[in-house]
Amino acid sequence: MLPSSFIGFLASRLGPSACAIAFFATASVAEPIKVVVSQKDGWDASVVELGTRAGIFKDQGLDVELLFASGGGEPIQALISGSVDISVSTGFLATLGAIAKGAPLEIVSSAFTGTSDVFWYVPADSSIRSLADTPGRSVAFTGYGSSSQLILLSLLEQNKIANVKTVAGGNPAAIQTAVMSGQIDVGFSLAPMNLLAADEGKVRIIARGGEVIAMKDQTTRINVVSTRALTEKPDTIRRFMRGLNRSMDFMYGDERALQWFGAMHKLTVEQTRRSRDTYHPREAMQTAAPRNLALTIAQAKQYKYVPADFSLEKLAPRMRLIDGQ
């Protein structure tokens, strides 16, 4: 904002109207914040995008610069390098692995709890009918340390299926291309991607994340900030989290969110509503404390993302939870 002495100078020389114009022009400048979302296209991955379009973050005095990654460790590297301030809907395994190595990261909230929003599919003419047919075959997830990798490994373990070639295929669009061209046998997808193709008989869904019994009440994705950002601009991060929560309220309470998201994915409003209510129930998208941390840490140890002596006590200093209400 302009100093009062300068505003007084404008008033004396140019009149009160010029003074008012200068004051409001400077008062309305939004503060920049750089945000990376771990994946593009999913309903929960669109919170910042839709909230920005609705003007919600602007109402918090923020100018959001939005980037998209391809899951796994990509958003974590962006945080560590200082390229962004906050990562939204970030894979828990990748975050824990980085924290265990001393990365300057802080967990500020949950992003998604449960496994209802993901599934695995094959082309309609594939001989694969279920995950039981995948030993020796390639099955995709997005990136190492992503929630898709964790859910896939848990599905295979729950069903006692071994010798599967799990493949980091990048974002769901890239995986879709690889599956339909025969480079990968089984694709990974986030709802609503590929649901229309399944309805039209172009692909078949062979496994769903919701089948993992142990993870139904486990937080699988989180919101993470760099220690630098939280130290240097804590109020900015708090306002962003407030905007994030209000954006989620908008997505479940305003028809425009369904219209905009549907237009982005060539879906009708009713198709979008059905996908949202089936795969992304409102209770899954909460920003309270992450749930079932003990299981997450046990999984991180099992899959070698953290050392055997990593514990809740060692994680606790990096849990800087922010109430965005």
Which segments in the chain show pLDDT lower than 50?
Answer: 1-11, 14, 17-27
The per-residue pLDDT for 17 is 47
Q: Report which secondary-structure segment, H or E, holds 238.
A: helix 234-253
Nearest CA to 51 out of 233, 242, 229, 283 is that of: 242
Strand order in the sheet with 62-68: 62-68, 31-37, 86-91, 219-226, 105-113
The per-residue pLDDT for 75 is 93
Which listed CATH number (3.40.50.720, 3.40.190.10, 3.20.20.105, 3.40.630.30) goes with 118-215?
Answer: 3.40.190.10
Q: CATH topology of 30-114+217-318 equal to that of 118-215?
A: yes
The per-residue pLDDT for 13 is 52
Query: How many other C-beta atoms are found inside a 10 Å radius of the C-beta of residue 268?
Result: 12
Which residue bears the tokens 């694969």? Answer: 128
The per-residue pLDDT for 6 is 37
Taking only the tens place, the pLDDT of each residue in 46-63 is 999 999 999 999 999 999
- Return d(Cα 142, Cα 160) in angstroms, integer: 22
Which listed CATH number (3.40.50.1390, 3.40.50.2020, 3.40.190.10, 3.30.950.10) goes with 30-114+217-318?
Answer: 3.40.190.10
Pair 322, 107: CB distance under 8 Å:
no
Taking only the tens place, the pLDDT of each residue in 142-158 is 999 999 999 999 999 99
Residue 69 backbone phi and psi in degrees, to 5: -110, -170
Pair 311, 231: CB distance under 8 Å:
no
The per-residue pLDDT for 28 is 60
SS3 98: helix
Query: How many other C-beta atoms are found inside a 10 Å radius of the C-beta of residue 256?
Result: 13
CA 289 to chain centroid, in Å, comes to 16
The per-residue pLDDT for 24 is 40
SS3 156: helix
Nearest CA to 233 out of 68, 41, 84 is that of: 84
The per-residue pLDDT for 136 is 98
Domain layout of the chain by residue ranges = 30-114+217-318, 118-215
Residue 266 backbone phi and psi in degrees, to 5: 60, 45
The per-residue pLDDT for 73 is 86
DSSP 163: S
The per-residue pLDDT for 10 is 40
